[in-house]
Amino acid sequence: MTDATQPTQLTGLALLKNPQHNKSTAFTEEERDRYKLRGLLPAAVSTQAIQVERVLANLRRKAYDIERYIFLMALQGRNERLFYRVLIDHIDEVLPIVYTPTVGQACQEFAHIFRQPRGFYITPGDLGRIGEILKNWPEHDVRMIVVTDGERILGLGDLGANGMGIPIGKLALYTACAGIAPHQCLPVMLDVGTNNESLRNDPLYLGLKQARITGAAYLALVDEFVETVQKAYPRALIQFEDFLTPNAYALLKRYRDRVLCFNDDIQGTAAVALAGVLASCRLLDTKLDELRIMFLGAGSAATGIADLLQSALIKTGLSQQEARHRLWFVDIAGLVVKSRQDLAPHNQPYAHDLPPSSFVDALKSVKPQVLIGATGAPGLFDEEIIRLMAQINEKPVIFALSNPTSRAECTAEQAYRWSDGRAVFASGSPFAPVEYQGRTLRPGQGNNAYIFPGIGLGALACNARQISDEMFLEAARVLADNVSAEDLTAGTLYPPLAKIRQVSLEIAVAVAAIAYGQNLARAPRPHDLARMIKAMMYDPGY
C-alpha cells in the first residue's frame, strides 16, 4: 500500500485543505518553510499524540453520539491520518461512533447532516456511461470497493441514498483494522430510487425521489457497474453490502465465480458467528458436531451463517443431511418445515420433515444449546425465551446479532438477568459490561469488523481471483483461536477490539495461504507471507 507520508507538490492553503497530506499544526518548522505554510498556522508545533488528545477532548464533550459522528467525519475530511490514528488507537471508544450502532442513526439522518460529498453515486440515468463518469473519481489505484443500493440498511430497512453511510463506514474499518490505504478505497451507492415514502417526501433527501427500479433494468445497472470496475480497477475487490435478501443471494450467485467479490451480510456475518460458536464449544466443553443450533430469522444473514456452519459440520465428518439436522430455523410464520409453501429457495435446504410449530414449541422440542437471532426486530428474545433456554442448558449461548443496538433481539443485561447469570451472550452492536451478583460479565461483540478487513487484506495481498468458502471457514477458525481463556472466563466469545488489527493480519495471512493452496492467487508467493502482508498495512502516523 502507498505510504501516506510520501512527499507532495501541494503548498499553502491547498496543502492544508488536502485531507490525505494535511498534518495541520504538526507540520514542522522546516516543513512550514518548504510548503509555504509560514503564517498560515499557529506558532506551536504539535505532535500527532497532542493532536489526538485534542480530538478526544472535543469528542468527549459532545452531548450525543450523532454529534460525535459528525465531528469525526469532519476530521476525516480535513486530516485523514489523524482520523485513523484516533480510530486505531482508541477503537473501543470510536468504532461504535464511526460504525454500528451510531452509523444507523447517521444513515437515517444522512441527508440532514450532509456536509461534504464522499463516495461515488450511480443512478439509472448513468446506464451506458458508467465507465465515462467513473473517470471523475480522482484515484486510479482502487483496490477495495464497498457497494450498496440502500434497500436493507442494518435492521432499519430501505434508506435509499442515505445508505451511503454504510460503505463509508465499512471502508474506514478496512483502513483502521486491516491497513488498506484510504486512497485505495471506493464507497459506492447504486441509487436506484427508494420505496420509502417518507424519504421521497422529504425536501432535504438527496437521492432519486422515485420508486426503486427492479428486474432487468436493475440487473443491467449492476452488471454494467461490475463490468466497468473490473476494467477500471482490475485488482479491486467488490464487497456487496446491505442488499435486500433476494437480491443479495442473486447477485452473489451471479458474480462470485467470475469476479473477486463477496457479500458481507451473508458471508462475513456467517464467519463471525461461526467463530463465536467455535469459541462457545470450548466454554461448553463440547464439540461442534454435538451442538443443536436454532436461528430466529431466515434472511440472508441467518441462512449465510447456516451455510457456513453446514460446511464446518461436514468438515467434522458429518454428512450433509446430518449437518442440516443440527440447524433449525424459525421465522415469522414459525418453524421452517417442508410442508410450508412460502419458503424462499435459500431456506428450503433447512426445512425439516416435522409438523408446523411456534417458536416456543420449537425450542422445547429441539432443545438447542445455541440460539442465534438475525431478525432486525428488537425484543424477540423475551423473558420466556431466555428462561426456557436457561432451563434447557446450564450455559445457554445467546447471539442477538441484529444491528444497530436498538434492533437487538435482547440486551446483554436481559440475557444475564433472565438466565440467572448463566447466559453466554454475544451481539452485533456493543453492550457495556454487566455487573451481576458480584460478577462482571463482558458481552462479546460479534462484529463483522473482526472478519471482512482480514478477508479483504488477504485477497488483495495475493491478488486473488475470487473469494472461496474455505477462506471464510479459515477466517472463523483464526478468530476463534484468538479468544483467550481469560476472555471465556469473562463470558465473552470474541477477543478485545484492541486486538483487531493483529487478528486481521492473522486472518489475511490464512486467507492468502488458502488462495495459494487453491490456485486462486495471481501474485507469486513470497518467502515470508506474514512479513509481506504486514509491510503492506497503512500506518497513519506522522
According to DSSP, residue 183 is labeled: G
Residue 288 has pLDDT above 70, yes or no: yes
> What average pLDDT does this structure show over 430-447?
92
Instruction: Give the chain's domains with CATH numbers.
Output: 47-259 (3.40.50.10380), 267-449 (3.40.50.720)
> What average pLDDT does this structure show over 257-277?
96
Q: What does the buried/exposed string (b/e) look like for 436-464 if buried means 16 or more CB atoms within 10 Å of the residue's CB?
A: beeeebbbbbbbbbbbbbbbbbbbbbbbb
* pLDDT tens-place string over residues 515-526: 999 999 999 999
Among residues of the chain, what percentage have pLDDT more than 90? 95
Residue 451 · residue 171 · CB < 8 Å: no
* pLDDT tens-place string over residues 360-395: 999 999 999 999 999 989 999 999 999 999 999 999
C-alpha cell at 399: 447471539
> What average pLDDT does this structure show over 463-487?
97
Contacts of 471 (CB under 8 A, 6+ apart): 455, 458, 459, 510, 511, 514, 515
> What average pLDDT does this structure show over 180-200?
98
Residue 82 has pLDDT above 70, yes or no: yes
> What average pLDDT does this structure show over 106-121?
97
Q: Which of 423-432, 437-446, 518-527 has the highest mean pLDDT?
A: 518-527
- Categorize the per-residue pLDDT at 490 as very low, low, confident or very high, splitting at 50, 70 and 90: confident
Question: Which are the catalytic amino acids?
Answer: 99, 170
- The pLDDT of residue 8 is 74
DSSP helix/strand/coil, 377: coil
Residue 172 has pLDDT above 50, yes or no: yes
- The pLDDT of residue 155 is 85
